[in-house]
Amino acid sequence: MTDVRAAEAGPSGTPAAERGQGAPGGQDRPDVSAYGLADWLKWAWRQLTSMRIALVLLFLLALGSVPGSMLPQEGTNPAGVQQYYTAHPALAPWLSRLGLFNVFGAPWFAAIYLLLFASLVGCVVPRTFRLAGSARTLPPRAPRHLTRLPRSAEYSTALVPAQAVDVAARVLAGHGFRLRRPAADGGADGDWVSAEKGYLREAGNLLFHLALLGVLVSVALGGLFGYKADRLLVQGDTFADTQSALDEFYPGRFVTAADLGPFTVTLNQFEASYITSGAQRGQPSSFDAQISYTTHPGGPARTDNLEVNRPLSVDGAKVYLIGHGYAPVFKVTDARGQVVYDQATPFISGSSGNFLSEGVVKVTDAQPEQLGFTGVFVPTAVEINGILQSAFPAADNPAVSLIAYAGNLGLNNGVPQSVYQMDTAGMRQLTPQPQLLLPGQSLKLPGGQGTITFTGYVPWVSLAITHDPGQLPALVCGIAALGGLLLSFMVRRRRLFVRARAGGKAGSPQGSTVQVGGLARTDASGGFEEEFASLAAELRAAHERAAAPIPAGHSQHEGE
Amino acid sequence: MPVNVALGHVSTDFLIAALVIYSLSVVAFAGDFAFGRPRRAGSVARVQARERAAALATVATAGAAAAGPGNGPVNGTVDGPADAAVAGPDAAPAVPDSMPEVAPPPLVAIRQAGRWVEAAMALSVIAVAAHTVAIVTRGLAVHRAPWGNMYEFVTALTCVAAIFFLFVMIRYRAWALGVFVMGAVVVALGLAETLIYTAAGQLVPALQSYWLSIHVTAMTLATGIFFVAAVLGVVYLAADRYNRRVAAGRAEPGNGIMRRLPTTEQLDRLTYRTIVFGFPVWTFGVIAGAIWADEAWGRYWGWDPVETWAFITWVLYAAFLHARATAGFRGRRAQYIQLLGFATLMFNILVVQVFITGLHSYAGVS
Amino acid sequence: MFKAKRRLVLLAGAALAGVALAVVLLSGWASGGNSAVTDVAGSTNAVLYSAGHRPLAPDFTGTTLTGSRLSFSSYRGRVVVLNFWGSWCAPCREEAPMLAVAAEQYRGAGVAFLGVDVRDTTASALAFVRNFGIPYPSVNDSGSVITLDFTAVVPIAGTPTTLVIDRTGHIAGAVFGTATYTELSDILAKVTGGNG
């Protein structure tokens, strides 16, 4: 990654004139028609795998992500997309054609990252071969003049050159360097040892890039073979992990209905607690859903506590607690005195705050006419300026306000409707004003149409069920990428050379002058100076230690 | 557990104190520019290069018996017994040893740099200590890691930046840059205190997870480090612009401030080393965030606006690392990329988290 | 020179292999290549399973809307039309009158109709039954457990779904979505006429 690539050349196999082998005066332009298709492909490939193009693609990737964060995206916010269409009717279709409402699934975005990964692979694979090759080759021979290297040191020692180099080799080997000594008959070259270290840097670099590729593959795996689903579950109810029991189902391309389940989940109890005083009054402090589940229908029931940040893992899928709300319980008796509706009805909280929730009650089989009610549920009812509002998210003073309708709900023709919305086009309003009911109270409908009783409320939770086979591979690849990154940053490829020439200090033919030279192949992150300084000092100290046991040798040669 | 309000007030007091002391340190750094000893902040390599050149010059005039120990590099540690024994009866060696010198220890270097630098470094250390105490007491007050909303995040990241830069100043003797980085810390902290102050409080349940400590801590650390790199990048661009103007003859060479700054090459390497430090931390933070997102929201990556902008930031810093190895993109262009990356980071924190609704809207700013 | 050529050949080979693999995966998966399932003529959501390729219908027991126990195994030996429905489900309301009529019509031929009431409550379900005059019993499946069992053998995606089960307890035909009288009678003709 930090090696500079050679300047991009033209297609290989260029006519000789291009290579400048012609006469200096020959300014003939290269004959383009002499390039075949293979040449152009090779040139394009070389361009693609160049650093410059990688840089451009990285920029495009970043730039392309920007609209994905600014505009509503169909996958996560379909309602927002609809709103955008109504707010910008002329602009929205064009944005849609450009794929800007689904940026991360758009073909042009895919093209960017696929090209980037092609460039990555084209870069990484040859370098892997090269690394494997270089791991087998020996370090280069020591240069003649080590003082010309970026870092060098020179000192004298009492040891003879061969000994000095031996000692140096031992010290360097102790530091983990790979060594090279001259051939046995290389006497003309002098005594030297060449040392190299830091191959892990390139290995870490390649590991990082390959691991990124692994992340991409894992994401694709999850997208193809995984699924996401939502389910709203009222307290006391059970659901089985099958498509018809799910409110929303987003399967991967290769997922079929039979791939789900077969676990079941029952919501036994849900509790939410809120902060009752202070500056954060009304903020939630904890959510707790007590569930029991089986891994297959009829299996032993196990209990678990679902919380935010604490999903349930079952049958290869994960069940998450996403949200919660209130479901007021209504009992409706129709004109004929039959109980035609008796269940908890989930109401959805909006932006009004403190869980003021809205919903509808559709009594589809009331006789003689279908009945419908639109309602607002307030957990802690207060009336401010004649408007019903909720003062606190907990159900301290629950109340519901209803408007009654009778007529045709529009369901019998087979067109599905949302259970949270009612089409009042075919209905007439029975109650001119919204009617407020406290728990236990009933509303008698005018015209003898029946009665609705607000018997109480139960909480509901919304669950997300996901299955992602690419999740674990993505994590492993992510950690591998991080490891490779750290290796490539912390390890430096460096070379050290030690030469010993006969002749110590001037005037003493015994001993040798030791030259130490070193260079860091890539020292952009620094630190080699200190390492070289400490290595040079250590070598010198080792030489002195090796020479020291013969202190008499000094007085000996002085006497000679 | 209820919030310890008194301790929260202690935290705020320490933060104000840190702010004041940082400002004083900035004044002291500026004083060094105006009144301090004239010298150019250099790395050890320059010193060594100078000394080696001197030593080699002596070698070239070998035979000059006047060569004494004072001629070589200052290093009293390498005279071993062999040398002493050899040098005893003879005259001073005509081929002096040439060993790379070891830099003087930091405290010595600081003292050598003059009173203003001494004062500025002392004030910086005290300010960082007070800042750290403020963060710690805030954490104790709320019984959790103290980076749960934007105010806490900004105070924490500036603390990280200050500590990191202290380390940089001591290791690379880079106090000439103190006025810029500490000045930026003062501005950031001041804005945080006045604009987005939030009293110590609890977190919404979605944030009550030990992953908070891991993910946001990593992001805080990385942002603090990138903060330092950004300031260095700005200084680089100013120095580079000045150099180009001098080369074009449109500015007077020898500007007082510019003379005190490190060379653009040193600034570039310092920036690179800083980002090399911060990039893995940011990568780890993104991974930890993905793990937390999977635990909380059921998917490890959903292109939530904050996730997307964290990805954009990552890509831009990766582009910086690539740019430094690409002909034509080193130097100024690479710094632009790095600054753009930091801009996206700031955009993420200040705009995306606050104004663009998504799963991440926990800034706590109403 | 030779090394470069060899590498190019390797890369080209790998690319070709990748493309071939992709083509195989994407095409072979989608079709399934199952000739044992045929569409009912003139219908887009009704299928027939040829004899020998009919999945076995899982057994189940449950509580009917009127509170009595019902075991599906008691229907073995008869042709059963199993209808998954809910009172809240608009397409189910559309086909309900047809089912009520068909149930009466095929009673003489010994075909039994049985309902599975999905994600519903007793009061609303009974009101539905009363309203449309459904003459056959339905089993409560508010937890979708019966549906889950059947989805393992036939791809039930939602309601309404109607399955026709032969005398040996194997699923011979299915309508995924609103069933028309023509579709139902076509399937029943294949199942009751001869090769039960």
The string of pLDDT tens digits covering residues A263-307 is 999 999 999 988 888 777 888 888 889 999 999 888 899 999 988
Distance of residue A270 Cα from the nearest chain B Cα, in angstroms = 15
- Nearest alpha carbon to residue B25 among B113, B147, B128: B128
Residues with pLDDT less than 70, chain B = 1, 38-98, 100-103, 203-208, 212, 357-366
What is the 8-class DSSP label of residue C75? G
What SS3 class is residue B62? coil
Show which subunits contact B, needing at least 3 CB pairs below 8 angstroms. A
| Domain co-membership, A340 together with A291 | no
Q: How many CA atoms lie within 13 A of B242 on its CB side?
A: 18
Residues with pLDDT less than 50, chain C = 1, 27-33, 194-196
CA distances from residue A154 to A146, A513, A515, A539, B72 in whole angstroms, order as listed = 9, 7, 4, 11, 12
What SS3 class is residue C97? helix
Q: What is the pLDDT of residue A154?
A: 86
pLDDT tens by residue, B110-132: 888 888 889 999 999 999 999 99
Average pLDDT rounded to a whole number, residues A70-90: 84
Average pLDDT rounded to a whole number, residues A500-513: 72
Q: Which of B44, B93, B319 is closest, CB to CB, to A529?
A: B44
| Domain co-membership, A363 together with A454 | yes
Task: Please state whether A468 falls in left (phi above 0), alpha (psi between -120 and 50) or beta.
Answer: beta
Put simply, the answer to whether A1 touches B322 (Cβ < 8 Å) is yes
CB atoms within 10 A of CB A417: 16
- How many separate domains does chain A show? 4
Structure tokens at A365: 């089989």
Put simply, the answer to whether C143 touches A342 (Cβ < 8 Å) is no
Distance from C-alpha of C161 to C-alpha of C173, rounded to nearest angstrom:
11
Q: What is the pLDDT of residue B44?
A: 40
Does residue A368 have a cis peptide bond before it, meaning omega lies within 30 degrees of 0? yes
Structure tokens at A297: 């229908």
Chain C positions touching A297 (Cβ under 8 A) are: 145, 148-149
Instruction: Assess whether pLDDT exceeds 80 at residue A412.
Output: yes
Which residue in chain A has the smallest CA separation from B84? A554
Structure tokens at B99: 């060993």
Put simply, the answer to whether B298 touches A228 (Cβ < 8 Å) is yes
Structure tokens at B103: 């830099």
**Does A148 map to a domain?**
yes
Instruction: Assess whether pLDDT exceeds 80 at residue A549.
Output: no
Q: What is the pLDDT of residue A186?
A: 58
Q: Which of A260, A342, A364 is closest, CB to CB, to C87?
A: A364
Q: Which of B101, B201, B296 is closest, CB to CB, to A280?
A: B201
List, in order, residues 6 or more apart from C12 with CB less than 8 Å away: none
Distance from C-alpha of B246 to C-alpha of A474, rounded to nearest angstrom:
52
Chain A positions touching B290 (Cβ under 8 A) are: 474-475, 478
Domain ranges of chain C: 1-33, 37-192
pLDDT tens by residue, C4-22: 666 666 666 666 666 666 6
pLDDT tens by residue, A132-169: 888 788 888 888 888 888 888 888 888 888 888 888 88
Q: What is the pLDDT of residue B53?
A: 47
Q: Which of B93, B202, B280 is closest, CB to CB, to A505?
A: B93
Structure tokens at A411: 């369901």
Q: Which of A153, A471, A506 is closest, CB to CB, to B300?
A: A471
Q: What is the pLDDT of residue B180?
A: 93
Q: What is the DSSP string of chain C?
A: -HHHHHHHHHHHHHHHHHHHHHHHHHHHHHHTT-TTEEEPTT-SSEEEE-TT-PPBPPP-EEEBTTS-EEEGGGGTTS-EEEEEE-TT-HHHHHHHHHHHHHHHHHHTTT-EEEEEEES--HHHHHHHHHHHT--S-EEEETT-HHHHHHHTTS---SS-EEEEE-TTSBEEEEEESSPPHHHHHHHHHHHHSS--
Q: What is the pLDDT of residue C24?
A: 52
| Domain co-membership, A398 together with A449 | yes
| Domain co-membership, A123 together with A161 | no
Burial of A312 (0-12, 13-18, 19+ CB in 10 A): buried
Burial of B198 (0-12, 13-18, 19+ CB in 10 A): middle
Instruction: Assess whether pLDDT exceeds 50 at residue A1.
Output: no
Count interface pairs A-C at CB distance under 8 A. Answer: 121
Q: What is the extent of the structural domain holding A454?
A: 328-464
Fold of C37-192: Glutaredoxin (3.40.30)
Scored b (16 or more CB within 10 A) or e, B162-192 reads bbbbbebbbebbbbbbbbbbbbbbbebbeeb
Put simply, the answer to whether A412 touches C118 (Cβ < 8 Å) is no
CA distances from residue B67 to A209, A503, B56, B82 in whole angstroms, order as listed = 55, 20, 12, 19
Instruction: Assess whether pLDDT exceeds 70 at residue A502.
Output: yes
Put simply, the answer to whether B323 touches A55 (Cβ < 8 Å) is yes
Instruction: Assess whether pLDDT exceeds 90 at residue A441.
Output: yes
What is the 8-class DSSP label of residue C170? B
Q: Which of B102, B209, B297 is closest, CB to CB, to A533?
A: B102
- How far, in whole angstroms, is CA A320 from its chain's centroid? 19
Distance from C-alpha of B1 to C-alpha of A197, rounded to nearest angstrom:
54
Distance of residue B356 Cα from the nearest chain A Cα, in angstroms = 8
CB atoms within 10 A of CB A404: 25
Q: Who has greater pLDDT, A30 or C78?
A: C78
Query: Whole-number mean pLDDT of chain C?
Result: 85
| Domain co-membership, A422 together with A474 | no
Distance from C-alpha of B16 to C-alpha of B138, rounded to nearest angstrom:
13
Average pLDDT rounded to a whole number, residues A370-383: 93
Chain B positions touching A73 (Cβ under 8 A) are: 303
Q: Which of A244, A342, A363 is closest, CB to CB, to C158?
A: A244
What SS3 class is residue A356? coil
**Does A40 map to a domain?**
no
Chain B positions touching A157 (Cβ under 8 A) are: 82
Which residue in chain A has the smallest CA separation from C151? A258
Chain A positions touching B304 (Cβ under 8 A) are: 76
Distance from C-alpha of A335 to C-alpha of A446, rounded to nearest angstrom:
10
- How far, in whole angstroms, is CA A295 from its chain's centroid? 30
Cβ atoms of A190 and A502 closer than 8 Å: no
Chain B positions touching A558 (Cβ under 8 A) are: 89
Q: What is the pLDDT of residue A235?
A: 95
pLDDT tens by residue, A260-271: 878 999 999 999
Cβ atoms of A179 and A193 closer than 8 Å: yes
Please report where in the chains the tokens 């104000």 appear, as a residue.
B16
Chain B positions touching A474 (Cβ under 8 A) are: 290, 300
Chain A positions touching C89 (Cβ under 8 A) are: 416
Phi, psi of A205 (to 5 degrees): -60, -50
Residue A509 one-letter amino acid: P
Chain A positions touching B222 (Cβ under 8 A) are: none
Structure tokens at A290: 């007590």
| Domain co-membership, A367 together with A243 | no
Q: What is the pLDDT of residue B120?
A: 92
Instruction: Assess whether pLDDT exceeds 70 at residue A29.
Output: no
Put simply, the answer to whether A479 touches B89 (Cβ < 8 Å) is no
Burial of A490 (0-12, 13-18, 19+ CB in 10 A): middle
Distance from C-alpha of A70 to C-alpha of B338, rounded to nearest angstrom:
22
Q: What is the pLDDT of residue A511?
A: 78
Q: What is the pLDDT of residue C16?
A: 67
Distance from C-alpha of A196 to C-alpha of A496, rounded to nearest angstrom:
6
Put simply, the answer to whether A240 touches C145 (Cβ < 8 Å) is yes
* Contact status of C88 with chain A (Cβ, < 8 Å): yes
**Does A211 map to a domain?**
no
Put simply, the answer to whether A413 touches C158 (Cβ < 8 Å) is no
CATH of residue A170:
3.30.310
Average pLDDT rounded to a whole number, residues A36-44: 86
Distance from C-alpha of B221 to C-alpha of B161, rounded to nearest angstrom:
8
Chain A positions touching B303 (Cβ under 8 A) are: 65, 68-69, 73, 75-76, 103-104
Put simply, the answer to whether A362 touches C155 (Cβ < 8 Å) is no
* Contact status of A388 with chain C (Cβ, < 8 Å): no
Distance of residue C87 Cα from the nearest chain A Cα, in angstroms = 7
Put simply, the answer to whether A279 touches B302 (Cβ < 8 Å) is no
Distance from C-alpha of A202 to C-alpha of A197, rounded to nearest angstrom:
11
Structure tokens at A432: 């001119």
On whether the pTM is more than 0.90, the answer is no
Q: What is the pLDDT of residue A6?
A: 35
Put simply, the answer to whether C91 touches A367 (Cβ < 8 Å) is no
* Contact status of B61 with chain A (Cβ, < 8 Å): no
Mutation for testing the A interface, residue in C9, C145, C161, C171 having most A CBs under 10 Å: C145
Distance of residue B44 Cα from the nearest chain A Cα, in angstroms = 8
**Does A305 map to a domain?**
yes
| Domain co-membership, A130 together with A143 | no
Given A110, A134, A158, the domain boundary residue is A134
* Contact status of B268 with chain A (Cβ, < 8 Å): no
Q: What is the pLDDT of residue A551?
A: 55
Query: Whole-number mean pLDDT of chain A?
Result: 84
Structure tokens at C188: 């029943």
Distance from C-alpha of B70 to C-alpha of A21, rounded to nearest angstrom:
56
Put simply, the answer to whether A478 touches B296 (Cβ < 8 Å) is no
Instruction: Assess whether pLDDT exceeds 80 at residue A190.
Output: no
Distance from C-alpha of B140 to C-alpha of B346, rounded to nearest angstrom:
27
